[in-house]
Structure 1
């Protein structure tokens, strides 16, 4: 990563004789916009949250629970800060029944959950003995893979269940080498390195990849593993607004004018798991070529997209050679565990030598490597291409039906991650309860994973879903939308109903006020 030096003179100062012209933004698609939360909802969410916290303070003061006191901890530092302890015990606990549901089946199109109830307001739970079979809209199994049992058993018999060593010592087998070669061919790059954990593929490789004099321009919504890797690497980081390429251009030009950075790296994702949006790769590549940047892209959630299922480069029609570093995970579209770093042979060798994952982290278990290799070969075959096509069809169908309900849906039209905004934490909890009762297992996401007023339901689609699965889930979702009044969208009404609600009137008034303000400016 030394392309930045061509913008410096012999004394290290930046060239000023040939200014770089601004990027022509007319060549690129319009940015994906997210509908803003209605002001009325924002006020009500804030009021509701502070009311819950006030009542929680009263409950803690009047009826302290025995779990609040740490016992036999004399001389030790407290396990939680006062704020963490209060939030986890008195705010998060109220919706704890919506999280961490025990699973007793494989994560296929259907999933089986163990029913549990609480007799003490979610302090503890007990199992009822019933099992609930639900449509699975919560797992990351985008391509719906299962199988490879014969290859997995053969690898377990030959190499064992685990190698108990790092890749640099005694943790590399011919199976790992073969897997890396075929993975590099699939991605269209020179080389790839497989690690045993997807989270550490970012956290343990970024310190060996980024030099101290490297500036990272990071998207505001990157994953926690990337954030932790940047902290460990101690690199300088500047954040641009989510998917805002004009803001990225502004930061990149400012950094280039400073002339003190060896490399400038753009950190982004293929599909953002909370927003469902696809990274603006064409614009990022154009900025890279114009300003001499480097691109590091996390494709954990984007493998399976595109005509050949090869990720965001395939989806956007861009050459994989224009991306410097490809990172991915095997726990999403691939049915296993681990991750990879891919790119040029020189880059992968640098990561092996200077990164921590190859030298210190546990090697990928051979049975897992065998299963990943089977899935990779299947994805390259016609059957795998058919899975990618089915995923696109399911995504398009589900998103169109969901938007017809006049709910606010985030994300790219081809993203299998579909967030539906409910804004309120209490409505999010009720959504999870109602859907589970109707036989649909879905994930609710709220504060602190999202801003306080942006709670949402996050639906993850799979190629294993049939239209019957999707229709059942959509019918349950529509019933919840009608019960809780979740038709918040201000966009033109797409539903077939002629019913006019308060939210519709409020949205029309907001649009009229915005147009009036524009007219008054002139």
Structure 2
């Protein structure tokens, strides 16, 4: 769920500021990771050279001959990366799931005999694997527990969906109740809630701002937010991720200097951040 809010005053439920800290990547891990990619890249160019001269014995990691007459879908380096780097570690991704994608899930084990180009299932299941790659932030994917029970109860009362936008006949009392709760939680005057989706940001941001407006965007914002900001025609300035000092500096400069060349005050200044980053 994406939420836009207009901060008019400080305060709310919490009187003290939030203090966040993030664990930095250990230097040894970072160095070894870059070294590993560097070694794979060097050997990739060497293997391509050997393939070109028919010296490389393993011809599995080549593009199929019948595909060479088609329009290329990727750039040369993307083909190189897929052929020589991704295929080496492909078994770590696209793992087939045989359970609900909750906090833990079950995976089907598979094996490859042609350098990860194709896989076959072994019939064994790996149980209770920690899920770090799902949109299941709040646990709604579980088929048991309080989330599933609440969803079933609400479905009986309200149905599986409103089948319309809120502007038409899709507005419910729960929508307004949630917006008031979000505004109270954030300590702001009001909030607007939309159903989650790419178009939520890319289509609604141009409705909020336009020419003569300024958008201050977090550097790690989702592509939908970036596209919406560009479509709005507003001036975009990027601040460092979760860095309030960087945001405050840009905000002060925007208020003091105004618009470029004319130095007129901005019609609107919209700060765009995400609540949860993928």
Q: Is the 8 A contact 1:31 1:244 kept in 2?
A: no
Shift of 1:258: 2.2
Q: 1:150 to 1:73 in 2, by over 3 A?
A: farther
Q: 2:89 aligns with which of 72, 88, 95?
A: 95
Please state if 1:85 is matched with 2:74: no
2:113 partner SS: coil
- TM-score normalised by structure 1 residue count: 0.39
Cα distance in 2, alignment partners of residues 198 and 117 from structure 1 = 35
Residue 231 of structure 2: aligned partner = 232
From 148, 152, 157, the counterpart of 1:146: 148
> What's the counterpart of residue 48 of structure 1?
36
In structure 2, the CA distance between the partners of 1:36 and 1:124, relative to structure 1 (3 Å rule), is: closer
Partner of 2:258: 259
Deviation at 1:151, TM superposition (A): 4.8
- What is the aligned-residue RMSD (CA, Å)? 3.5
Task: Give the match for residue 205 of structure 1.
Answer: 204
DSSP-derived class of the 1:204 partner: helix
Query: CA separation in 1, counterparts of 2:20 and 2:103?
Result: 33
Q: Secondary structure of the equivalent of 1:205? A: helix
Query: Cα deviation per residue 1:37-77 (whole Å; 9 max; x = unaligned)?
Result: 42x55444333221111112223342454762474674x64
Look up the SS of the partner of 1:146 in the other structure.
helix
Q: Could you say what secondary structure the match of 1:114 adopts?
A: strand
The separation in 2 between residues aligned to 1:193 and 1:35, in whole angstroms, is 33
Q: Counterparts of 1:205 and 1:73 in 2: how far apart (Å)?
A: 42
Match among 45, 55, 67 for residue 57 of structure 1 = 45
Conserved 8 A contact 1:181-1:191: no
Q: Could you list the runs of 5+ residues in structure 1 that have no partner in the other structure?
A: 4-26, 274-522
Q: How many angstroms apart in 2 are the aligned matches of 1:82 and 1:151?
A: 51
CA distance in 2 between counterparts of 1:203 and 1:69 reads 38
- 2:9 — aligned with what? none
Aligned pair in 2 of structure 1 residues 155, 65: CA closer, same or farther (>3 Å)?
A: farther
SS at match of 2:172: helix
**2:247 aligns to what?**
248
- The reply to whether residue 167 of structure 1 matches residue 156 of structure 2 is no
Describe the SS at the equivalent of 2:106: strand
Shift in Å, 1:253: 2.1
Contiguous gaps of at least 5 residues in structure 2: 1-5, 7-15, 140-146, 184-188, 260-265
The 1:29–1:127 alpha-carbon spacing in structure 2 relative to 1, beyond 3 Å, is closer
> How many residues are matched?
237
Q: In the superposition, relative to structure 1, how do residues 202 and 134 fare at CA in structure 2: closer, same or farther (>3 Å)?
A: same
**Which residue does the alignment assign to 1:367?**
none
Q: Which residue of 1 aligns with 2:100?
A: 106
- Deviation sequence 1:157-198 (CA, Å, 0-9, x none): xx8x895xx6389xx555x53442332243247564533x43
Task: Give the structure with the higher percent helix.
Answer: 1
Indicate conservation of the 8 Å contact 1:116/1:128, yes or no. yes
Deviations 1:436-479 (A, max 9, x none): xxxxxxxxxxxxxxxxxxxxxxxxxxxxxxxxxxxxxxxxxxxx
The aligned runs of 1:311-350 (5 Å cut-off) are none
- Report Cα offsets for 1:214-235 as digits up to 9, x if no partner: 2222222222332232233343
- 5 Å-filtered alignment, 1:342-361, equals none
Cα 1:67/1:206, change in 2 over 3 Å: farther
Maintained 8 Å contact 1:217/1:265: yes
Q: TM-score, length-normalised on structure 2?
A: 0.69
Aligned to 2:12: none
Report the CA distance between 1:121 and its aligned residue.
1.6
Quote the Cα distance in structure 2 between the aligned partners of 1:37 and 1:86: 29
SS at match of 2:148: coil
What is the CA deviation profile of residues 239-266 of structure 1, one whole-angstrom value per residue up to 9, with x for unaligned ones?
Answer: 2222222222222222223221322222
Partner of 2:262: none
> Residues of 2 paired with 1:154 and 1:30: CA distance?
40
Q: Tell me what 1:181 maps to.
A: 176
8 A Cα contact 1:112 1:131, kept in partner: yes
Please state how far the C-alpha of 1:79 moved relative to its aligned partner. Answer: 0.5
Q: Please say if residues 113 and 133 of structure 1, whose CA atoms lie closer than 8 Å, have aligned partners that are also in contact.
A: yes
CA distance in 2 between partners of 1:95 and 1:199 (Å)? 30
Q: Verify the 8 A CA contact 1:180 1:194 in the aligned structure 2.
A: no
